[in-house]
Structure 1
Amino acid sequence: MRLDNTATGVFVIAPTPFTDAGALDLDSAARMTDAFLEAGANGITLLGVMGEAPKLDAQEALEVTGVVLRRVAGRVPVIVGVSAPGFAAMRALADGAMDAGAAGVMIAPAPGLRGDDAVLAYLRQASAAVGDAPWVLQDYPQLTGVHLSAAMVAALAGEDPRLVMLKAEDHPGLDKLTAIRARLGARLSIMGGNGGIFLPQEVERGADGIMTGYAFPEMLGRVFTLVRAGERDAAHDLFDLHLPLIRYELQPGLGLAVRKHVLMRRGWIASAALRSPGPKLTAETIAEIEVILARLGARDPASRL
């Protein structure tokens, strides 16, 4: 299965499960993958920001990728983030992931690039490094500090048929999403991000789906389906129930720890641990999460723990 521009729906960004001691927890990776598939995920993305990719060595990255790919067994496309400081590491991970059965890879501009020419030159070189792999352009300037205009995205899409998807995470980015869709039509699959906080509006603006790690991916799928069916009020009503948890997950520096706690509470992973360096949730924070979860479950029975 190779990723293409017809991809649609919910692509769940998977965390990398660790034990409390910081070792890879491959059993949890397998169980989590099963849970994502049961929740209706249309695709899975590994080794993104949420996957703590910089904390893994090359062998660990391929181990996690292999476990997930074997569990998925071709049922949905799996995208592997390959962004790295150097192209040699990027090439090695891309080759290993594609050989193991990945559908495509994801690339973000390197932090610190200045000027359109430098950004485009870097992305051209990075895409060459991943060989013939279909690739996803991650536009996340809040993290990289690199701005991509609609014209730059269109230029890349116009010259490289292997670019099949945009992960649109500029913030604010709804007007930019509209501008890209107007320029490119269906040339690229466009996935929203940013924790899902603008999911209904992104789909209404023409996004093909969402790529995020929100701990209740079933909700994302339900909202997406409702928007596509024209049931706008029902979509927004359901989405609004989850906004308190989405907001809590979006706290800079702490959000992944919150997500892992909720996934642990759901029984999908055994430990909420982040690999060091990383924050640990205080008792007060955990208590706040539990209140949010209880209130959510009371209002959305499908999300009751």
Structure 2
Amino acid sequence: MARLTEDAKGVYVIAVTPFTDDGALDLGSIDSMVDFYEGAGVTGLTVLGQLGEAPKLTAEESRTVVERVLKRLDGRLPVVVGVSAPGLAPMRELAEAVMGEGAAGVMVAPPWTVKTDDQAFAFYQSVGEALGETPFVLQDYPLTTNVTIAPKVIERIFNEVQNCVMLKHEDWPGLSKITALRAASDSGAMRRISILCGNGGLFLPEEMGRGADGAMTGFCYPEMMVGVVAAYAAGNPDRAHEIFDAYLPLARYEQQQGIGLASRKYVLAKRGVIKSATLRKPGAKLSALDIADVERLLARQAIRLKEIGA
């Protein structure tokens, strides 16, 4: 598999981690999930992300998930693997293992101990050195990490850390950050890098309009992200917004803390993508009223999609 580069674009869907009802890894559902994402038209997959419940997996389970995904894809799509860790040694160890299995690159979020601009730069400089030739994604997700990285610092990182090839943009609000980074690359102040956006695709049309290259996030209907990105690539932002608007109520519901991932897994199980909607403990569980909310949203979404021919 070719390695991740600054030219990456499209939809790298954040994959869930399927579990059985008793919380064990469900390897069969990993296979069906991979088939589903590939059939939905995604460009690549990202595994062991925050919403992939990576912190709940053992080191051995993490490698098992990656190996299973890579084996099922057999090189047809690139795979990015989250390797964030408190220290550089376990990060490097996991990165070397997954790259040896055929991953295209890895993703690294900053630890909460990063507080200043100089610390942010020094951390990613150290990551670049530790990972050697492995290309990596800078995950900028202040809402979770509590680490804010200013555009000027990101410019410096990308100019001086050559194996950092992509920004996973999840700042919120963050449209001005995309604008600033694209202005910097257009002026020659920094090299142009890939920007893929997160936050469940909640701002994807606007992010594409600001110069993003696509999405790296999860949603129970990856077809939405694929459709939006394709419409922008075809020069049709109005169609992109029309597609996005049809899915927005459900995407909004998924953004709730706690039950958001539970609702995503509920819909994926309902669609036959995975066998069980179980989150590994500790994890939220939908109430009967929550399920009724989701079912109502699904019914209304189906009506709207038929109306717009999507």
Q: Bin the TM-score by the shorter chain.
A: over 0.9
Give the 3-state SS of the residue equivalent to 1:213 in structure 2.
coil
Match of 1:250 in 2: 255
- Tell me, yes or no, if the aligned pair for 2:208 and 2:232 is still in contact at 8 Å: yes
- Tell me, yes or no, if the aligned pair for 1:112 and 1:144 is still in contact at 8 Å: no
Match of 1:14 in 2: 15
Match of 1:53 in 2: 54
Give the 3-state SS of the residue equivalent to 1:275 in structure 2.
coil
1:127 Cα shift? 2.7
- Tell me, yes or no, if the aligned pair for 2:120 and 2:153 is still in contact at 8 Å: no
Structure 1 counterpart of 2:235, which letter? G
Match of 1:180 in 2: 181
1:302 Cα shift? 10
Match of 1:236 in 2: 241
Q: Does 1:139 align with 2:144?
A: no
Distance in 2 (alpha carbons) for counterparts of 1:255 and 1:89:
29
Distance in 2 (alpha carbons) for counterparts of 1:218 and 1:169:
20
Match of 2:198 in 1: 193
Q: Does the C-alpha gap of structure 1 residues 72 and 303 become closer, same or farther in structure 2, counting only changes over 3 Å?
A: farther
Match of 2:282 in 1: 277
Match of 1:69 in 2: 70
Give the 3-state SS of the residue equivalent to 1:201 in structure 2.
helix
Aligned equivalent of 1:298, options 283, 300, 303? 303
1:187 Cα shift? 1.9
- Tell me, yes or no, if the aligned pair for 1:195 and 1:214 is still in contact at 8 Å: yes
CA displacement 1:170-195 (0-9 Å, x = unmatched): 00000111101111246210001111
Distance in 1 (alpha carbons) for counterparts of 2:306 and 2:80:
31
CA displacement 1:250-305 (0-9 Å, x = unmatched): 0012211111111111100011111111111111101110110111112214999x
- Tell me, yes or no, if the aligned pair for 1:20 and 1:273 is still in contact at 8 Å: yes
Distance in 2 (alpha carbons) for counterparts of 1:57 and 1:91:
16
Match of 1:127 in 2: 128
Structure 1 counterpart of 2:136, which letter? W
Structure 2: which 5+ runs fail to align?
A: none
Say how many residue pairs are matched. 304
Give runs of ≥4 in structure 1 deviating > 6 Å: none
- Tell me, yes or no, if the aligned pair for 1:297 and 1:303 is still in contact at 8 Å: no
CA displacement 1:119-175 (0-9 Å, x = unmatched): 221222223222321000000001011111111111011012211110011000001
Aligned residues: percent identity?
52
- Tell me, yes or no, if the aligned pair for 2:14 and 2:45 is still in contact at 8 Å: yes
Distance in 1 (alpha carbons) for counterparts of 2:262 and 2:133:
35
CA displacement 1:95-124 (0-9 Å, x = unmatched): 111000000000011013211111221222
Match of 1:215 in 2: 220
Aligned equivalent of 1:225, options 226, 230, 251? 230
> TM-score, normalised to structure 1's length?
0.96
Structure 2 counterpart of 1:34, which letter? D
Match of 2:269 in 1: 264
Structure 1 counterpart of 2:128, which letter? S
- Tell me, yes or no, if the aligned pair for 2:124 and 2:161 is still in contact at 8 Å: no
Structure 1 counterpart of 2:93, which letter? A
Q: Does 1:86 align with 2:126?
A: no
Structure 2 counterpart of 1:53, which letter? A
Which range moved further: 18-27 or 87-96? 87-96
> TM-score, normalised to structure 2's length?
0.95
- Tell me, yes or no, if the aligned pair for 1:257 and 1:273 is still in contact at 8 Å: yes
Match of 2:30 in 1: 29
Distance in 2 (alpha carbons) for counterparts of 1:194 and 1:300:
22
1:91 Cα shift? 1.3
Structure 2 counterpart of 1:36, which letter? Y
Q: Does 1:118 align with 2:110?
A: no
Distance in 1 (alpha carbons) for counterparts of 2:129 and 2:270:
42
Structure 1 counterpart of 2:290, which letter? T
1:217 Cα shift? 0.9
Structure 2 counterpart of 1:194, which letter? N
1:45 Cα shift? 0.2
Give the 3-state SS of the residue equivalent to 1:300 in structure 2.
helix
Structure 1 counterpart of 2:106, which letter? V
1:82 Cα shift? 0.2
Structure 2 counterpart of 1:295, which letter? R
Give the 3-state SS of the residue equivalent to 1:44 in structure 2.
strand
Structure 2 counterpart of 1:299, which letter? R
